[in-house]
A and B are shown apart, each in its own frame.
Chain A
Amino acid sequence: MCRGLMGSTALYFMNEKRNGLKEKIVNSQIWRSMFRHGYENTGRRYTLQVLQNVWLHLHPPRVPRHGINFRFTWCMGGITFLMFLVTAVTGVLLMFYYRPTAEYAFRDVQYLEFDIPFGMLLRNMHRWAAHGMVIAVMLHMFRVFLTGSYKKPREFNWGVGVILLVVTLFLSFTGYLLPWDQLAFWAVTVGTNMARATPVLGHEGPFHPQDITQENDVRFALLGGTIVGPSTLLRFYILHCVAVPLLASVLMALHFWRVRKDGGISGPL
């Protein structure tokens, strides 16, 4: 229709002009310094697109056809990573409004919910993405087990994945305390009470030496006190925002790298 309105000659000259400009831009030094390859529809370009991109180079240039099939992979590993990214971005934004002290923590969350534009949405996204990550990581493990993908040569990477599952749960658990409301306080109290009963290292555990009391056992190390209190809040905040995400990132890098090195996505040989 456009062609009919403008007339083919006019369109020809416009295209010519646009192509000339486009050529100028994509051949400029600035453009070429950022993008090394063109955009032609060839296998070579598809390969370069992946190889020369720092984000995409986690992938091999080509994968077996079943590797892109939703029925095979369920996309669960990718969804887990996506949820991690969402919690990282929303988490950084939340950190601008939150102070991890017993005086301010609850008030800051309230302030976030009622006074910050989109504060409630921000908090919701962070919390539901975290829950989504736990669901996705469980289903990812279920899929990997059912396709026998942990078998040789991927044994080690399965182990890394198990540790990542634990890290995910711990990330979610440390974050649970931060709103500092009744729900958070008592869920974490119940959760950390288990540590009392650690054999040898807990003051109520079997075989603990007499020197282990509630003031120096493993639960004290976790809480920074004998009950959940202000120092627990600070400890969980630092674990949640710095220590565990760092650990998770390192392990994820290892996990993704090993997927490549162990032969890419598993398949029948």
Chain B
Amino acid sequence: MTASTTAAATVLLIGNPNAGKSTLFGRMTGTRARVMNAPGTTVEMQRGTWRQAGEARTVVDLPGTYSLVARSPDEMVVVDALADADAIALVVLDAAALSRSLYLLAQVARSGRPVVVAVTMLDVAREHGSPVDLERLAAELGVPVVGVDPRSGRGLDEVGQALGRAEQVRGVDPHPGRQGEDLTTRLADAQQLFAWVEELTSRLAPPPEVHLTRTDRVDRFLLNPWIGLPVFGLVLWALFQLTTAVAGPVIDLVDRLVSGPLADLASSWLSGWAPAWVSGLLVDGVLVGLGTVATFLPVMAITYLALAVIEDSGYLARAAYLADHAMRVVGLDGRAVLPLVLGFGCNVPALAATRTLPGLKHRLFTALLVPWTSCTARLTVYVVLAEVVLPEHAGLVVLAMYVLSVVLVLVGGAALRLTTFRGMRAEPLVLVLPPYQRPRLRATLVSVGNRVGAFATGAGKVVVAALVVVWALMAIPAPGGGSGEGPAGDSLYGWAAEAAAPVMAPAGFGDWHLVSALAGGFVAKEVVVGQLAQAYAVDPTAQPGGLVSAIRETLTATSDGHPQAAGLALMVFVLGYTPCVATVAEQRRILGTRWTLAAVGAQLAAAWLLAVAVFQVGRLLW
């Protein structure tokens, strides 16, 4: 291949996870990169422009993989990318795990793509007593081989020059289009490639001896269940605190800023010239929607940053190993423990955390279960309703909701495995434990910025659209004047709530005040108590007991004198149904529209069935 034909070629960055590929990508593209989904999938990859020696090249950072025998969508994305006839494969070899990296290189060679090799971790390999002779390696492979340090960028200029000399790897016959072959044939091919790798490594250097490293000494404690599990508990606690206690004040600040000064400024600016409905649409619809998205940005940034640090430092793999046994009960990999625990803080970052799971099937499965982890926003509703159910044991009732949340995750997981995910079970754990390392600040911040931006634009559209619809329903007068109770009662929103109320009658709370607040809870659970107060025209801060009395009175009427059973059913419904529009928007970004609609429908159906069951059984007891 000549330099002229490769001048505009896309560079595909391919390598094992933790080989330094993404750091190298960050060095190449700086901030000129964006996170995107691979075509037709929800697998994230980064694309950017590398300006080098006056030439601009497109560089794609493909998901890290150990194999091109694609068993996950991530691996399939790499295989598909290699089918691009104009691309050059820049294969990143980890010198500290050369044999494993060379196997991936051999698979890339099978695709017939021209290759340039960048070798990372040369210093680590030297420390292990197995230094890599780059000249010898280049001579054996017949392709340009460059030693690079992704953190400092050393060697990048040489990589740029080498791209014009990309060649096919010597000693491996190209054989594209193997994906259709069965596993037995692929295994036989893999054996041939293993033999090639072993022969090559034996010519390069003697087999590496095992040298105990600093990582091994740390792991002696962190992988010991007696020490490792409490430490893991502390890490989970710290993560939970970050997404709740630390993010909380920032969220409040953004919320106050948007609903206060910003809304006032927009209103006064619009009042001079815009009709009232335009002002209402822009301030109460669009601005409130943008404000809702903005309140999630700090928590998303904090979550992405914390996850990046945990993953980058090498601890995530240890956490997966420690939690693996427990998570097998749900049929999941140990890594699923992070999103499921984070969900008890906020479902939105918990969904974002599913990206740390290795396969799409497990990501889907976990993302479908996350909404049943009871986020802190639901707690505000529980606290009020628990006073209706058992005022003398309100704390116990709230605790029961958290226990039920765990049960829902377990039962929901079992139901999914019996139906949509039939046959899914936890994969055998054969997991690479990368050496501990200092997280890469620059690359991490760029990646966090890209991911938060992707959330704001992806999920933001859905949130704003949903809030504009809610505004419109609130702004349009009800046919026939409505109930006349408060602004909601006079609107199409209140009218629709009244029309929908009979659906909830079997659960004992078929009343428009409650149904309209539940509909508001679809936007955010934080607004449920406020909407209840608004519907009953009660100020909960001025009359703490007023709202509880009003709800109890309504429930007594709608449940034929079983307000406690109806109150408990209402709490269960709040736990089970759609958490908030931001969660739905994030689910859509991760799962796609079809899965999200199915999930929302399933959550509503499950919540209704559970609420009906709780009420019907409860009325026999209370």
A binds B: no
| B binding-site residues for A, Cβ under 8 Å | none
